[in-house]
């Protein structure tokens, strides 16, 4: 009873899976207890193609695991050093406004060694076409606006020396002029002009009109006048 049920189930499963196949189950006529437990099964297949199709349809293709993908990191590129352009690191030159003639005159006066303010009145104006003129009677000096920049200090210190040389003699123009003619030679105003040129040279002038004052004795006398002494 149990054996026939198993055979029946087997026949049903095979019949369901294999369409168009004929199955025949036979048992021996005289079966011993041992052979009765294992009947002889004969299966006759009348159509092979449907069976192959069914078997093929039941095959399951194993799914292969994908190989792990290794993530490749991009090589680390070192950061480029920041280079500042020469135009960014170099400071721009400051453009100074041009000085007026009055400002340049003030700078030239400030260069005179031992100069004291308020001892001379300065006037910036042309005077008879000369670069400079000194009034040693009233301690007034006129400077022309046309004096070249590279000659301004030379003219300023020469005219100031005229006033200074007379102040050394208490403002007495006649005595001062006589002493300068005696010491530097000449007559009229020759000695006074030579004295003013020598005083200007000792005070740092680079250009003089009457004499370059290469005489050491003249330079020594000019130094005394600059210091407030007499010849």
Domain ranges of the chain: 2-55, 101-115+149-226
Residue whose C-alpha is closest to residue 198's, from 166, 174, 224, 170: 224
Is the per-residue pLDDT at 216 higher than 70?
yes
- Quick one: average pLDDT of 42-53? 47
Report d(CA 181, CA 195) in Å as an integer.
Answer: 9
More confident residue, 207 or 129: 207
> What pLDDT, on a 0 to 100 scale, did the predictor assign at position 21?
44
Residue whose C-alpha is closest to residue 184's, from 167, 201, 170: 201
Per-residue pLDDT band at 39 (split at 50, 70, 90): very low
* CA count, 13 A, side-chain hemisphere, 45: 10
- Quick one: average pLDDT of 99-123? 90
Structure confidence by residue, pLDDT tens digits, 152-162:
999 999 999 99
Range with lowest mean pLDDT among 32-46, 97-111, 203-217: 32-46
Mean of the per-residue pLDDT values of the chain: 76
Phi/psi class of residue 80: alpha, beta or left (left: φ > 0; alpha: ψ in -120 to 50)? Answer: beta
> What pLDDT, on a 0 to 100 scale, did the predictor assign at position 93?
72
Is the per-residue pLDDT at 184 higher than 80?
yes
> What pLDDT, on a 0 to 100 scale, did the predictor assign at position 86?
52
Q: How far is CA 98 from CA 101, 102, 152, 206, in A?
A: 9, 11, 16, 24
Is the per-residue pLDDT at 146 higher than 70?
yes
> What pLDDT, on a 0 to 100 scale, did the predictor assign at position 64?
57
Report d(CA 49, CA 164) in Å as an integer.
Answer: 141
Structure confidence by residue, pLDDT tens digits, 74-92:
556 566 666 555 555 667 7
């Amino acid at each position: 009873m149990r054996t026939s049920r198993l055979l029946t189930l087997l026949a049903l499963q095979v019949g369901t899976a294999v369409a168009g196949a004929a199955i025949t189950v036979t048992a021996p006529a005289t079966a011993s207890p041992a052979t009765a437990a294992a009947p002889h099964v004969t299966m006759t297949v009348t159509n092979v193609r449907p069976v192959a199709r069914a078997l093929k349809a039941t095959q399951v293709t194993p799914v292969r695991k994908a190989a792990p993908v290794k993530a490749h990191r991009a090589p680390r590129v070192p950061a480029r050093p920041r280079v500042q352009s020469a135009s960014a690191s170099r400071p721009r030159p400051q453009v100074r406004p041009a000085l007026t003639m009055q400002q340049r005159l003030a700078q030239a006066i400030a260069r005179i060694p031992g100069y004291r303010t308020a001892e001379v009145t300065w006037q910036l104006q042309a005077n008879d076409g000369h670069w400079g003129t000194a009034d040693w009677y009233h301690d007034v000096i006129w400077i022309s606006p046309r004096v070249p920049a590279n000659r301004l200090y030379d003219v300023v210190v020469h005219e100031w020396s005229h006033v200074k040389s007379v102040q050394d003699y208490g403002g007495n123009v006649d005595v001062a002029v006589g002493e300068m003619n005696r010491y530097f030679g000449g007559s009229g105003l020759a000695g006074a002009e030579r004295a003013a040129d020598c005083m200007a040279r000792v005070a740092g002038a680079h250009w003089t009109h009457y004499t370059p004052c290469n005489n050491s004795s003249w330079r020594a006398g000019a130094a005394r006048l600059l210091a407030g002494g007499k010849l």
